[in-house]
A and B are shown apart, each in its own frame.
Chain A
Amino acid sequence: MTESATDTIQSGGSAATAAGSTAAVRPAPAEAIALRNVTMSFDLGRSKRMTALEDFNLSVAEGEFVALLGPSGCGKSTVLRLVTGLEQATSGEVLVEDKAPADLAKSHRLGVAFQEHALLPWSSVRENIALPFRLARRAVDWQRVDELIRLVGLVGFEKARPRQLSGGMKQRVAIARALVLSPDVLLLDEPFGALDAVTRRRMNGELARIWEEQHITTLLVTHDVEEAVLLADRVVVLTGRPGRVRHVQTVDMPRPRHADITRSAEFRAVVDHLTDLLDVDRKAE
């Protein structure tokens, strides 16, 4: 079942990319997401400014899974909002697939899931997952929608409405919705932040499995160290106020990573190291 799903997803993905970029002759950029010398500050009124990011650099390679880890208020969500094109940097350069993020959004090549599931309460699970097709003004590929429902394990709930679902199920729908158009870049802002610890671990496992089948360039924002280490190829630890890169941890544990990997000594060592880094940061404040 999963295998057939994989096939179609990948073929769907390449088709979408080919259709999306007219300049297909050009070789695919090795750098999928690039933030160069980005500074982001907000006006707080009365001539006060808050600097969320300062001289920030980040590069995510094609097909790479990068997690941004940091305490709350460190500006990691700001990074994600810059990459989605929801915010404009005060200075510096933000490029996704060598283009401005807003251009990618306009050509419907970004997938996104937030901490709030943001499902439409009046639509069924199936309709919610089909939404990106409608916003892109494409005919809904119902086969694709049903594959994703299978992929996130919601078979039998197609007709259910969001309020009939548990928190974890809602997030699965949100993830399926993010993936349905086979986006070039997947952006996840604390997608499991509102879930309890047990559900969160299970959803981490699910996301690892789903990602294994697609290898979409992914940027995950989280404050959960285990989540970051379990899922990511690289973990970028941020300092707070203003946000800067404090440490980059490459995680080269073999994939597919299953939940039992979290008990291995290697995994624990990385987690402890990163946790310490976060803690030092807090003491420093």
Chain B
Amino acid sequence: MIRRSRLAGLLHLWPIVALVLLWDVWVLANGYTSIVAPRPWSVINDVVGNPDAYAIDFLWTLAISVGGLLLGMLLGTIAAVLISLWAPMSAVLTPAALIVRSVPVTVMIPIIARVFGYEVYTVLVVTVITSFFPAFVLGLSGMASAPASSRDLFVVFGSSRPASLWRLRLPYAVPNLLLALRITAPLAVLSAMLAEFLIGQQGLGYLFIVARSYMEIDRAWGTALVATMLSVFAFLAARFVERRISPRFT
């Protein structure tokens, strides 16, 4: 049993182990000093040895990304509902969503920063915008996935529009919205960090730029490592939620 699960673990984790080893070999082979590229062990040491140096910024970025993620998804879902209730809304919302969808967040952040100022909530606005689109589009297609026969049935039973929305279309959208959550979770962390990198006064993105400017190489790489873990964690948590709830709606 144990051997088998270990084997399965190896099958899944070999690339990560390989990456860390490659990193080390690559540093040694090129003879980089620790200023150019630190070895993995000294980076891990810095993170494990100074948890309080990372803790506040970690929690900050976590809070901002989760908050922005949930708020953005909520707004995206509301926009999808508005379109489904009132078709002409799509005239404005569809192109707007297209712009949000295709314009890189790196282009939006500087403008948002200029317009909203170098404030904490500017970072939040950025994560909200990032999280908006997937929920909007996937929510819309999820609501449209309710079978025609079910929609006919609701009409014949004299269902009101809100009831059809609440009892038919929104439940059909749940698996898609959870998919949006899984897609968006790492993106929200990325955009929060990008915004912090450029305009923040706190958070992992800010810690990263500070460490870089003081040439604290272990700290800078450590921030990257912590951010990666946060992002992977966000992804895994979202996937866990999706796997738990999605089957109930299909």
Which residue numbers of A lie inside 8 Å of B, CB to CB? 81, 84-86, 105-108, 110, 112, 114-118, 120-122, 131-132, 134-137, 163, 181, 187
Kindly provide the distance from the CB of B187 to the nearest chain A CB, expressed in whole angstroms. 28
A40 to B188, CA, bound (A): 52
Kindly provide the distance from the CB of B248 to the nearest chain A CB, expressed in whole angstroms. 6
A118 engages B149 (CB within 8 Å): yes
Q: Which 7 A-B pairs have the closest CB atoms?
A: A116-B149, A135-B159, A118-B149, A118-B150, A112-B156, A108-B158, A105-B158
B171 engages A135 (CB within 8 Å): no
Given contacts A118-B147, A118-B150, A122-B248, contact A131 B167 (CB under 8 A): yes
Interface residue total, chain B, C-beta cutoff 8 A = 19
Chain B residue at minimum C-beta to C-beta distance from A181: B157
A110 engages B156 (CB within 8 Å): yes
B153 engages A114 (CB within 8 Å): yes
A84 to B157, CA, bound (A): 9
| B121-161 to A contact mask, C-beta < 8 Å, 1/0 | 00000000000000000000000000101101111111110
Enumerate chain B residues within 8 angstroms of A84, measured Cβ to Cβ.
152, 155-156
Total cross-chain contacts (CB, 8 A)? 66
A134 engages B163 (CB within 8 Å): yes
Chain B residue at minimum C-beta to C-beta distance from A180: B157
Q: Does B250 contact A (CB under 8 A)?
A: yes
Interface residues of B: mostly helix, strand, loop or mixed? helix
Q: Pick the contact of B163 from A85, A121, A135 — CB < 8 Å?
A: A135
Interface residues of A: mostly helix, strand, loop or mixed? loop
User: In chain B, residues 231-250, which have Cβ atoms closer than 8 Å to a Cβ of chain A?
Assistant: 248-250
A132 to B152, CA, bound (A): 13
B156 engages A85 (CB within 8 Å): yes
Enumerate chain A residues within 8 angstroms of B248, measured Cβ to Cβ.
122
Q: Does B230 contact A (CB under 8 A)?
A: no
A121 to B155, CA, bound (A): 18
Q: Does B100 contact A (CB under 8 A)?
A: no
A105 engages B167 (CB within 8 Å): no
A117 to B171, CA, bound (A): 17
Q: Does B168 contact A (CB under 8 A)?
A: yes
A112 engages B157 (CB within 8 Å): yes
A227 to B128, CA, bound (A): 57
Enumerate chain A residues within 8 angstroms of B157, measured Cβ to Cβ.
105, 108, 110, 112, 131-132, 135-136, 181
A112 engages B158 (CB within 8 Å): no
A118 engages B153 (CB within 8 Å): yes
A116 engages B147 (CB within 8 Å): yes
